[in-house]
A and B are shown apart, each in its own frame.
Chain A
Amino acid sequence: MGTLPFFAYAFAFLFLPAGQVLVGAFKGEHGGFTFSNITGLFHQPYIGAFQNSIELSGVTALAGGVFGVLIAYAAIRDGTPRWIRSMLTTFSGVAANFGGIPLAFAFIATLGSIGIVTKFLLNQLHYNIYLHGFSLFTKTGVEIVYLYFQLPLMILVISPAIDGLKREWREAAANLGARPIQFWRYVGVPVLMPSILGAIILLFGNAFAAYATAYSLGYSNLITVTLGAYYQGNVLSNPHFAQAMALGMFAVLALMMAIYIPLLRRAQRWAK
C-alpha cells in the first residue's frame, strides 16, 4: 500500500514517544499504576488552565479563521495585483511561526504601557487605553498577540482552496443575475466550508499547543505552560502528572475531531 512508508515513519517517530505519554500518565511518582494523575487534572488550577487554553484557542481559531479568509480572499480575488498575493503568502509563512520573546516584545513595544500605539492614542487622541481597563497582559491581550500567528496560518492554508473557487463560477452566477451575497451563500461558502473547517481545527491545535508567547507575556494559566513547568522539573517536578496533562490535551483534541468529522460530512454534502 502506498501509505506504508508514512505509517512506518509515523510509528517510529511519533507513536513511540507519544505512547510514552499515554503510558506515563498512569504511572505514579514511584512507579506503579495509578489514576491519581488523571483525577488530579480535574482540580484547580489545572481544570482552570484547561478551560483557559480551550477558550484562548477557540477564540483565536475563530477570529483567525474569519479574518484570515477575508484577508486571503481580498488578496486572491480578481482585481488585486498578483504581487500582493505573493507578498502576503510569503509573509504569512514567516509570521505563522513568529512567537516567543520576539513577538511578545514586539507587542509590548506596541501596546505596552509605553508602546508606540499606546503613546499615540494618549498624545494624539487623548485616550488612555490602560485607564480604560485594557492591558496587554490579560487574556484579551494574549488573544490579540496570538492572532499574529493564527491569521497567517489561516491565510496560508485557505489560499489553495480559494484558488479552487473558479472565477467562471462567479461570472456565471453574475450572468444569471445573482447578487454577490447570493453567490457567497449558495456557492462560495459551501464550497469553501470543508477547507475552512479543517483550517480552523488546525488553528485550534496551533494555539492549544503554543507556549512560549504566553509565557513571555506572563500569562501562565495555560495547560501548556503548566505542563512544561511540571515536566521540566525546575521548580515543580512531576513528569507523570505532566504526561497526564498531555493525555488531557489529547482528549480535548480528540473531542475537537469528533465535532469536526460530522460537520465536515455535512459541509461536503453541500459542496457536492
Chain B
Amino acid sequence: MRLRMPRMAPSAYIWLFLGFAYFFIPLLATFLFSLDKNSTGKCCTLHSYGWVIHNPGFWHTLKVSFLLALETIAISLALFVPTVYWVHLKVPKLRPVLAFMALIPFVVPPIVLVVGLLDVYRGTPAWFYAKPWGFLVVAYVILAFPYMFFSLDAGFRSIDVHTLTEASHSLGASWVTTLLKVILPNIRAAALAGSFLALAIVMGEFTIANLSQFYTFPIFLQYVNETQAYPAAALTLMSFGITWAAMLSLLFIGRKRGQRAAFLTGAR
C-alpha cells in the first residue's frame, strides 16, 4: 500500500492560526517599539540592539544563567525521573502525595523560600552559599519540581511501564540499564517538556536571585526594563529568541539520542 501524506485538517488550520496570532502580535508590538529612535520616538534604528550587544552585563549574565539552567535540568532529571518511575512502577499510592508536594512550591512564595533558605543555610561553606552554582541551583530545582513532575507524570502515564520493565528485565538488563536505555527514550517528550520549563524558569527567575544578591540574566533584564526604554524592548526580544534557540538545541540533542535508542529497542 502506498503511503500517502495525509492533508492538514481545516480545524487544525484555524486553531494554529488563532494561536499564532495571539502569540505573535504582542511580540510584533514590542519589536516595532524597539526600532524607534530615542530622538524622535519613531522608526527606525538598530541602536537599541547595539546597546544590548555592547553591554558587558548582557554577556556575563547570559552565560551564568545558561550554566545554571543546564545544572538545574541535570539535577532535576537525575532526581525526578527515577522517583516518578519508581512511583508509577511500584508505589502508585504515593502518586497523590507527590502531586500534592508538587504544589507546595507554588504556595511558598519565592520571597519566603529565599529568606528561609538564606537563614537555614547561612553557616554553610562559601562554595555552596556564596556561589550561584550551589545555593541558587538548589532553589531552582525546587521551583522546577512542579513542572517536571506533572510533565513526567503525564509521560509515564502514556507508556506501559510494567510491560517495558518486565521485558527489559527478562532480557537481563539491570535497573540502571532499564532506566537509561528503555524508559528514558520512551518518556523523551515528557522529559524534554519538563527540561524546557526548567530552562525557562531559570532564565526568568528574579526574586530569589535578587534577594540572595546574585547577578543573573533576569536581574539584568529587570534592571534594563526599569531604567531603559527602547533597549528594554530590544532586550526582551533578544532574550526571547535566545531562550527559544536554546530550546531548539535541547530538542535536537534529545531527538538524536532518542532516535538511536528508540531504534535499538524498537520502541516508538
Contacts and interface: CB of A to CB of B under 8 A. Distances in A.
A5 B23 contact: no
Given A13-B139, A74-B12, A209-B107, A97 B197 contact: yes
A253 B155 CA distance: 23
Contact of B247 (A93, A160, A201): A93
A237 interface: no
Contact of B79 (A6, A77, A211): A6
Interface stretch (B43-51, B60-68, B140-148, B161-169): B140-148
A124 to B, nearest CB: 14
A129 interface: no
Contacts of B192: 89
Contacts of A194: 157
Contacts of B120: 16-17
A79 B9 contact: yes
A1 B146 CA distance: 22
B267 interface: no
Contact of B251 (A20, A90, A102): A90
Interface in A154-210: 156-161, 163-164, 194-195, 198-199, 201-202, 205-206, 208-209
Interface string B231-247: 01100100010011001
Nearest to B29: A109
Contacts of A195: 154, 157-158
B16 A74 contact: yes
B11 interface: yes
A247 B44 CA distance: 51
B75 to A, nearest CB: 9
B138 A164 contact: no
Give chain A's interface secondary structure class. Answer: helix
Interface string B97-119: 00111011111110111011101
Contacts of A94: 200, 240, 243-244, 247
Contact of A14 (B16, B99, B104): B104
Interface string A220-255: 000010011001100000000011001001100110
B112 A20 contact: yes
Give chain B's interface secondary structure class. Answer: helix
Contacts of B85: 2
Chain B contact-residue range equals: 35 or more
Interface in B188-239: 189-190, 192-193, 196-197, 199-201, 203-204, 206, 221-222, 225-226, 232-233, 236
Interface in B4-44: 5-9, 11-16, 18-19, 22-23, 25-30, 32-33
Which of B32, B86, B157, B221 has the largest count of A CB atoms less than 10 A from its CB? B157
Interface stretch (A27-35, A36-44, A110-118): A110-118
Chain A contact-residue range equals: 35 or more
Given A90-B247, A90-B251, A246-B112, 17 more contacts: A3-B91, A17-B115, A73-B15, A90-B248, A91-B244, A93-B199, A93-B244, A102-B30, A105-B233, A116-B25, A148-B26, A153-B197, A160-B187, A202-B147, A209-B107, A231-B109, A249-B106
10 contacts: A2-B83, A13-B142, A21-B108, A96-B197, A100-B204, A102-B232, A109-B26, A116-B25, A246-B108, A257-B99
Interface of A: 1-3, 5-6, 9-10, 13-14, 16-18, 20-21, 67, 70-71, 73-75, 77-81, 84, 86, 88-103, 105-107, 109-110, 115-117, 147-148, 151, 153, 156-161, 163-164, 194-195, 198-199, 201-202, 205-206, 208-209, 211-212, 224, 227-228, 231-232, 242-243, 246, 249-250, 253-254, 256-257, 260-261
